[in-house]
Chains A and B, each alone.
Chain A
Amino acid sequence: MVISIGFEGSANKLGVGIIKDGHVLSNCRKTYITPPGEGFLPRETARHHQNNIVKLLEEALIQANIKSSEIDVVCYTKGPGMGGPLVSVALVARTVAQLWNKPLIPVNHCIGHIEMGRLITGSINPTVLYVSGGNTQIIAYSNKRYRIFGETIDIAVGNCLDRFARILKLSNDPSPGYNIEQLAKCGKKFLPLPYVVKGMDVSFSGILTFIEEKGHKYLKSGEYTEADLCFSLQETIFAMLVETTERAIAHCGSNEVLIVGGVGCNKRLQNMMDIMCSERQAVLYATDERFCIDNGVMIAYTGALMYSSGFKCKWEDTFCTQRFRTDDVEVTWRE
């Protein structure tokens, strides 16, 4: 029996979660929300995390109704992510690990998403579409690694959505992607946008440049409404993701698809993926915002898996790194 606490703060979400043998005891989160038209910057985001983490930690312990002495292992996000926010959160994890005298486990953020997705949905060996503000990867497990079959060759899909929302000055509350999703429901007229798929890789930067250059012109002339643009953007980028995922599952002969990451909450993306899956007799697994969006539990759970498989980390190796590839991690807990 392992009780594990996880600290996550690689981007603008700060999360602390506690899990006991795959059973979530608490999952607390606080999001740093910026005004419309602005993105989150490392320094301000780090300050947000520093100001809130102790309160969030208390909340997580109270909700889980356990004492610090009952915790077996402390886990934190080692990377990838923004330097400042990562370090601010790791500092707290290191401090409590020493105060409580518990082992400290550094966790890869992307692997955290995958393992949490597998736990919640019960999927066994899925092809994973990991889509968030900083990541766009199509991943499948083989030979002790989560291997990246396809990914973005420039910006991440969530980044494309965020920046698109900034151009239109949409609200960042609760998230730019959510507001685009709601607006897109009223969109009718389809604007052809650059559609770039290279094998299993995708590219989004061309779309952004296109909207930057022509978006306001279309809005002014009334040719397309804001909703039309949101609709066209979603239809285009999600079609690219579904197409490459389909190519990956055809390539590996897989019959399970799992969507994880913040963009994975998008109902339209889930719906499109579901249609593709049912055409191929495959099954789609997706989670809701509690686990799709960055959270502490996924770090706690993955750390617990690592800990149970015998993983140990020297104190001097418990650092953070902004760049940390999914396929860098040896998966010791899977056959």
Chain B
Amino acid sequence: MSNTNILYKQGAEGRIFKINYFGKPAISKERFKKKYRNEELDKRLTKERIRAEAKSILRCKNAGICVPAVYLVDFEGRRIILEYIDNSETISDLIDKLTTKNCDESNEKLKEISIKMGDVIGKMHYNNIIHGDLTTSNILIKYESDSTWNLYLIDFGLSYIKSSDEDKAVDLYVLERALTSKHSNVNWFFDEFLISYRQYGENNERIFKKFNEVRARGRKRTTIG
């Protein structure tokens, strides 16, 4: 490993460094001590999340979902080393870029992405993986060539394995809120996503019903004081 680690991004979860891992470009995600948090609690959460991340990535990989490969899990060093996804950007950045253009071509592209996203998330839920933090910042688009691209899911720190519709529905709800709050100008994006998501598996219709319940819970909550 080289010593020339470059701070790539400071996420909410930790610092992300771009490193060279035995000749391969890699990402080291270091969950540094959160000083605001009680030490015991911090230790517990960090361990849980590193474990969850490694576990869900493997499970996704087995299911044929594009995710970065896990190179190293290091509980002592509070870090996990993952494959660097070259030639990629976050969906969040891409949406911002495309919506400022706002031409037919970019809308077409956005639609394609939303459909693919429905497919990928559908597959993930079909395999009972709950992401826990689905946002447009946690989905990468990787350009394989000029015309082909794939969607990569990242940031599985809050993920877990569960088959319940409720948990999958909350996952969708988190994504919807992330979309509508950050990209309020493309409301149709989520609708397209949902159409594609519902087509993925037979259970997804049931999850969709549950999702409407979760949605109503949020919107109609009595908020007092």
Contacts and interface: CB of A to CB of B under 8 A. Distances in A.
Nearest to B174: A199
B135 to A, nearest CB: 6
List of 5 A-B pairs having minimum Cβ-Cβ separation, nearest first: A134-B224, A11-B225, A199-B174, A134-B225, A247-B12
Nearest to B134: A199
B45 A325 contact: no
Interface stretch (A16-24, A145-153, A166-174): A145-153
Contacts of A239: 34, 36-38, 41
A47 interface: no
A264 interface: no
Contacts of B35: 275, 279
A147 B41 contact: no
8 contacts: A81-B224, A149-B182, A153-B214, A197-B158, A199-B133, A201-B177, A251-B135, A252-B182
A35 interface: no
B138 to A, nearest CB: 9
B137 interface: yes
B177 A134 contact: no
A211 B175 CA distance: 31
A195 B137 contact: no
B53 to A, nearest CB: 15
Interface in A189-229: 190, 192, 195, 197-201
B62 interface: no
Interface in A147-189: 147-151, 153, 156, 158
A272 B36 contact: yes
Given A153-B218, A275-B35, A195 B45 contact: yes
A190 B180 CA distance: 38
Contacts of A151: 218
B119 to A, nearest CB: 21
Interface of B: 10-12, 34-38, 40-41, 44-45, 132-135, 137, 158, 170-171, 173-174, 177-178, 180-182, 184-185, 214, 217-225
A190 B134 contact: no
Contact of A143 (B37, B184, B219): B184
A53 interface: no
Contacts of A115: none
Interface footprint category on A: 35 or more
Given A190-B40, A239-B41, A323-B220, A143 B185 contact: yes
B45 A251 contact: no
Contact of B181 (A12, A149, A158, A324): A149
A262 B221 CA distance: 19
B78 to A, nearest CB: 15
Given A158-B225, A236-B38, A250-B11, 16 more contacts: A80-B224, A134-B224, A143-B184, A148-B177, A156-B224, A192-B44, A195-B41, A198-B133, A199-B174, A235-B41, A251-B137, A251-B182, A252-B182, A262-B225, A280-B10, A325-B219
Question: Which of B134, B158, B181 is the most central at the interface, judged by chain A CB atoms within 10 Å of its CB?
Answer: B181
Contacts of A247: 12, 133
Contact of A199 (B37, B45, B178): B178
Nearest to B220: A323
A274 to B, nearest CB: 8
Contacts of A197: 158
A37 B170 CA distance: 34
Interface in A223-256: 235-236, 239, 242-243, 246-247, 249-252
A246 B135 CA distance: 14
Contacts of A272: 36-37
A132 B224 CA distance: 8
B72 to A, nearest CB: 24
A153 B182 contact: no
A26 interface: no
B177 A192 contact: no
Contacts of A324: 223
B181 A140 contact: yes
B174 A201 contact: yes
B89 to A, nearest CB: 15
Interface in A11-39: 11-13
B15 to A, nearest CB: 10
Contacts of B218: 151, 153
Nearest to B217: A153
Nearest to A11: B225
